[in-house]
Copies of this chain bind each other. A is one copy, B any other.
Amino acid sequence: MSGTLYGVGVGPGDPDLITLKAHKVLQTAPVLAYPAPEVGESLARRIAAPHIPEGRREIIIRMPLDPKRFPDRTAYDKGAAEIAQALRGGQDVAVLCEGDPFFYGSFMYLFNRLTDEFPVQVVPGISSLLACACAARTPLVARNEVLSILPAPMAAEDLRARLSRTDAAAIIKLGRHAPKVFDVLRDLDLLDRAHYVAHATMPEQQVERLSNINPDEVPYFAMILVRKEGVGI
């Protein structure tokens, strides 16, 4: 009998924002696996740390820092091979995923490599999208409105067109793309309806009006939420 592969969403940062189900998996799986930068700590591992019992085997999937090599086929091949070995030996393996495994998550690359051979269970997690709206104390989307999740690297014209057509939006992965995003929001007269949230639910969480933010100093783990309508009724 082979082990089961678990994709476990560990939530956005606050260790208490993990589900009871994910917590249970972490108490029982003898092997953990998670992505990490070439040097230094894994964010998913840090988030889950208070829930990880002593003595677990840990498979660290080191990812290259060079964005041209990302996502890195070789790193996932190697990680999947190590995980497969544990699964074949009958051990369950829990892959720690920041936020949710299937919402802009790298778990899909491991899932894709392992799902034909092994039983897989995917445990959802609180995505940063939901955490940011709660942190900013602003409804993300309501009633029959359309919500668009827009990665900031897209071209300014594309962003402008998509923002103009949607009722609500989350602009994610800001980082160095923030100046362009701020310009587009200004053009569309949406600055006053935009909320800025960085590092939601982490100790360094920042919730601000856009006018208080220097667009040249925005981290990757930041997003802007826009909703055109007021709450109503």
- Chain A contacts to B: CB under 8 angstroms: 7, 9, 11-12, 14-21, 23-24, 71, 73, 76, 100-105, 108-109, 111-112, 115, 120, 122-127, 130-131, 133-134, 137-151, 153-154, 162, 165-166, 173, 231, 233
Contacts and interface: CB of A to CB of B under 8 A. Distances in A.
A181 to B, nearest CB: 14
Contacts of A151: 143-146
Closest CB pairs A-B (n = 8) = A16-B21, A122-B134, A147-B149, A108-B139, A124-B130, A144-B151, A102-B133, A112-B231
Task: Count this chain's copies in the assembly.
Answer: 2
Given A16-B20, A71-B143, 13 more contacts: A9-B130, A71-B233, A101-B134, A102-B130, A103-B130, A104-B142, A105-B142, A108-B231, A122-B133, A124-B126, A125-B130, A146-B154, A148-B166
